[in-house]
């Protein structure tokens, strides 16, 4: 199986599967002398970790990360920093229960990757979905924790904005609330409703989808490489590459098609209010911070839709590996709404794309070009 590597200059290669001994990744291309401790990575991993509420899978994985290489104590500061060499990260799997899958060993789970993996590779790793398991996304979060440190001043945050058909009320959006409920939900009222709603779904042996929004603040203008590595295209690819993602939007996304030109184009003024007349100010952000595939300096906004978990207790029609028609119900431990734990994964992938493009931008234009206003 190839294509386990993300990125151009900021790259990582992940390895491991759901019920193997360990998962890990090698992050290559990270600049030297960036302060980095295991705790920086662990903090992000802990947000994605399973088993933290009744609304996620009950698999108990501490997801304790070890940094195996690529760091050194800087004599001048006494701090551990990156060396510019490959950073290898390892997480041991400790709570695999392959017997949970013995009943469905030879059956394909509708909506899961078992059938297509078998068609392509001639193997069926039924134990937790093998390489198709979202265990792998822990390594994206780990690499993302490093990526966040590569671009000075960026803040990448995510929130669950819709569960099933139920949207949050954007008027109540409060980033501080995201850490106060088990859903990464910025609307405290809707978060309470999600508790009752997801309990109902879960107890009915079913699952539900979600929409996640990621916002990156502090992104410098100028990132993105037209024509074939547009920043929006790369973000869309990174979001789409997350397990269970079925749709991606940048800025107003599909809703932009309903607008008139004068409503959609973000008008510009000199940024006199902030005492910074050398930079333009945008009066709205329908574009989601990207114009012509290049960041405009506005917040980058992307949303992705996650399908309902395919592993459910409700019996479904399927076939087995011998071609017999049969039924399947998936017991074991599953996320009733995979969109919840997808929030830190989405943040991490946006951070990785931005780090990658930050380094490519620096490689091509050095310290940067003067602002258009400065040249005149």
Ligand X SMILES: Cc1cc2nc3c(=O)[nH]c(=O)nc-3n(C[C@H](O)[C@H](O)[C@H](O)COP(=O)(O)O)c2cc1C
Binding site for ligand X (CB under 6 A): 57, 112-113, 129, 132-134, 137, 242-244, 307, 309-311, 334-335, 338, 341-342, 345
Block residue for tokens 């819709």: 162
Render the burial of 107-141: b for 16+ CB within 10 Å, e for the rest: bbbbbbbbbebeeeeeebbbbbbbbbbbbbbbbbb
Q: Which residues of 165-179 are buried (b: 16+ CB within 10 A; e: fewer)?
A: eeebeeeeeeeebbe
Q: Considering beta carbons, is residue 111 or 288 the nearer one to ligand X?
A: 111
**Residue 233 C-beta: closest distance to ligand X, Å:** 19
Residue number with CB closer to ligand X (11 or 341): 341
Nearest distance in Å: CB 23, ligand X: 13
Q: How far is the CB of 76 from ligand X (least distance, A)?
A: 40
Q: Which two tokens stand for residue 44?
A: 């992000």
- Would you say 12 or 108 has its CB closer to ligand X? 108
Distances (CA, A) of 107 to 117, 183, 307, 320, 327: 13, 32, 21, 4, 8
- Which of 100/106 has CB closer to ligand X? 100
Other Cβ atoms less than 10 A from the Cβ of 32: the count is 12
Nearer CB in complex with ligand X: 203/278: 203
* Cβ at position 293, least distance to ligand X in Å: 25
Of 287, 330, 298, 322, nearest to 129 by C-alpha is 330
How far is CA 251 from each of CA 147, 221, 263, 356, rounded to the nearest angstrom?
A: 22, 16, 13, 21
Instruction: Output DSSP code: residue 270.
Output: E
Tokens standing for residue 333:
């431990």
When the beta carbons of 109 and 361 are compared against ligand X, the nearer one is 109
Dihedral angle, C-alpha 216, 221, 222, 224, nearest 10 °:
20
Q: How far apart are CB 130 and ligand X at their closest, in Å? A: 9
Of 27 and 242, CB closest to ligand X:
242
Q: Percentage helix, strand, coil, to 5, in the chain? A: 30, 25, 45
Distances (CA, A) of 133 to 84, 94, 262, 374: 30, 15, 45, 50
Closest to ligand X by CB, 61 vs 177, is: 61
Q: How far is the CB of 163 from ligand X (least distance, A)?
A: 14
Of 281, 285, 290, nearest in space to 225 by CA:
290
Name the minimum Å distance from CB 340 to ligand X.
8
Nearer to ligand X by Cβ, of 307 and 362: the residue is: 307
Total length of the chain: 376
**At its nearest, how many Å lie between ligand X and the CB of residue 333?**
7
**To the nearest whole angstrom, how small is the minimum distance from the Cβ of residue 205 to ligand X?**
13
| 263 CB-near residues (< 8 Å, 6+ apart) | 286
DSSP H/E element including 154: none
């Amino acid at each position: 199986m190839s294509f386990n590597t993300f990125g151009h200059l900021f790259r990582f290669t992940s390895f491991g599967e759901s019920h193997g001994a360990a998962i890990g990744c090698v992050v290559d291309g990270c600049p030297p002398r960036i302060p980095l401790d295991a705790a920086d990575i662990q903090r992000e991993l802990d947000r994605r970790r399973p088993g933290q509420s009744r609304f996620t899978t009950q698999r108990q994985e501490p997801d304790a990360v070890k940094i195996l290489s690529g760091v050194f104590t800087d004599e001048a500061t006494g701090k551990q920093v990156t060396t510019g060499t490959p950073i290898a990260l390892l997480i041991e799997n400790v709570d695999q229960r392959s017997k949970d899958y013995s009943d469905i060993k030879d059956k394909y789970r509708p909506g899961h990757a078992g059938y297509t993996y078998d068609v392509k590779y001639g193997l069926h790793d039924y134990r937790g979905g093998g390489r198709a398991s979202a265990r792998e996304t822990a390594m994206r979060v780990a690499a993302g924790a490093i990526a966040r440190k590569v671009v000075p001043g960026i803040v990448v945050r995510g929130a669950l904005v819709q569960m099933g058909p139920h949207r949050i009320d954007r008027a109540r959006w409060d980033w501080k609330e995201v850490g106060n409920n088990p859903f990464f939900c910025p609307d405290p009222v809707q978060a309470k409703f999600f508790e009752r709603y997801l309990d109902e779904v879960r107890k009915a042996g079913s699952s539900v989808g979600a929409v996640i929004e990621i916002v990156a603040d502090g992104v410098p203008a100028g990132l993105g490489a037209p024509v074939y590595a547009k920043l929006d295209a790369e973000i869309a690819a990174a979001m789409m590459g997350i397990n269970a993602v079925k749709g991606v939007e940048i800025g107003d996304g599909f809703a932009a098609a309903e607008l008139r030109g004068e409503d959609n184009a973000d008008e510009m003024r000199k940024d006199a209010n902030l005492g910074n007349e050398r930079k333009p100010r945008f009066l709205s952000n329908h574009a989601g911070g990207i114009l012509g595939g290049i960041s405009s300096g506005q917040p980058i906004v992307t949303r992705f839709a996650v399908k309902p978990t395919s592993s459910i207790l409700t019996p479904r029609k399927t076939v087995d590996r011998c071609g017999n028609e049969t039924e399947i119900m998936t017991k074991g431990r599953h996320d009733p709404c995979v969109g919840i734990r997808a929030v830190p994964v989405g943040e991490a992938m946006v951070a990785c794309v931005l780090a990658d493009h930050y380094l490519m931008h620096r490689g091509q234009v050095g310290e940067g070009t003067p602002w258009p206003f400065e040249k005149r």
